[in-house]
Amino acid sequence: MTRGYQANKIREKLIDVLHESKTGLSSIEISEKLKVNRITMTKYLKVFAAEGLVKQKNMGSGNLWFIEEGINYLHFPDDYFQVKNKYGEYVLAGAIKEAHNILRNSIHSGASPIRLIIEVIVPTIESVQGSYDNGKIGKSEKNFLDGLILSSIHSITMVDEEIDQKKNAVVFSTDPQSFLLAHAASVAFQVGGWKVSQLGDMSAAIDVMFDIDLQRFLNKVWLKKQGIMIVVIFSSTEGPIKFFSEAVKSCKTKFGKALHLVLCSKLTKKAKVDFASDNIETVLQWCQTVYESSHL
């Protein structure tokens, strides 16, 4: 936009002035208070409305702008811990609107989508799983809360990032319990500029033909064999790890050294893979390092 205005500064000041006004403000009043050119301010207001930050209402003599309910400006990195606690509380309480709002607030306030996944989403997935394992919630409630978290993850995918065609990843889980973590990681890869193929829960794919099926799929999604391809497997059960790892390894004879196998699991001691960790952030860092090394 014109005059080099900083979108984050405009957003922060806009939230403040609209919070102070209970009756709404016109675009002219907003531009005067923020000392921003009227035409430029109108463009920002349209963008912020599309983001769900503000809304416009017809109030008889004209249109007034209001802040969306629950919107506040947060400060990062200081507020990640606060957001994690609040989001976790909202999810466990089944408060869908509040859970979505705090993530939306965080994005509007300049939070890193990857950090939100690692420091907010992943701990909440583990907290819900822990509540289920300890008998605090039943299967019905867990499925409901998992669905809430999944919709939150989808909201983060709305962040536009340029995809590097040389950074390719296939991500899947070997069991239903690992599905949400795999999905969260897929979004983190995507936000990091990776071209990601999310296969979901592949527990039903354990059969003698899977290695051929996987080779066919890799040929389709990695058509020109540009850059690298990393297959990331999430698992909470030991048996399927060996099966899927062997299937991926069989593909290496066809695709060569540019194909890498990563395991994200607590069961990593016996895993014969290129890299193994139970920490999503560590997995992301390793994959990025491998990509950068391939371009040296």
What is the per-residue pLDDT across 58-84, written as a single tens digit (0 to 9) for each?
877 678 998 877 666 777 888 899 999
Output the average pLDDT for the chain: 89
Hey, where are the domains in the chain? 2-67, 80-156, 164-294
Strand partners, 197: 170
Segment 45-65 mean pLDDT = 82
How far is 160 from 184, CA to CA, in rounded Å? Answer: 16
Which helix (H) or strand (E) segment holds residue 140: the answer is helix 139-156
- Of 159 and 249, the one with more pLDDT: 249
Segment 8-14 mean pLDDT = 82
pLDDT digit string, tens, across residues 17-38: 888 887 889 999 999 999 898 8
In sequence order, the 6+-apart residues with CB closer than 8 A to the CB of 44 are 1, 5, 7, 10, 14, 36
Any idea which architecture 80-156 has in CATH?
Orthogonal Bundle (1.10)
Segment 201-205 mean pLDDT = 95
In sequence order, the 6+-apart residues with CB closer than 8 A to the CB of 82 are 74
pLDDT of residue 93: 93
Closest CA to 287 of 164, 119, 204: 164
pLDDT digit string, tens, across residues 274-284: 999 999 999 99
One fold for 80-156 and 164-294: no
pLDDT for residue 92 is more than 50 = yes
In sequence order, the 6+-apart residues with CB closer than 8 A to the CB of 190 are 157, 161, 163, 196
pLDDT of residue 48: 83
What number does CATH give the domain 164-294?
3.40.50.280
pLDDT digit string, tens, across residues 95-151: 988 888 888 888 878 889 999 999 999 999 999 999 999 999 999 999 999 999 999
The structure's pTM equals 0.80
pLDDT for residue 7 is more than 90 = no
pLDDT of residue 59: 76
What number does CATH give the domain 2-67?
1.10.10.10
pLDDT for residue 295 is more than 90 = no
pLDDT of residue 10: 86
pLDDT-based confidence at residue 159 (cuts at 50, 70, 90): low
pLDDT digit string, tens, across residues 226-276: 999 999 999 998 889 999 999 999 998 889 999 999 999 998 776 789 999
Closest CA to 265 of 242, 292, 290: 242
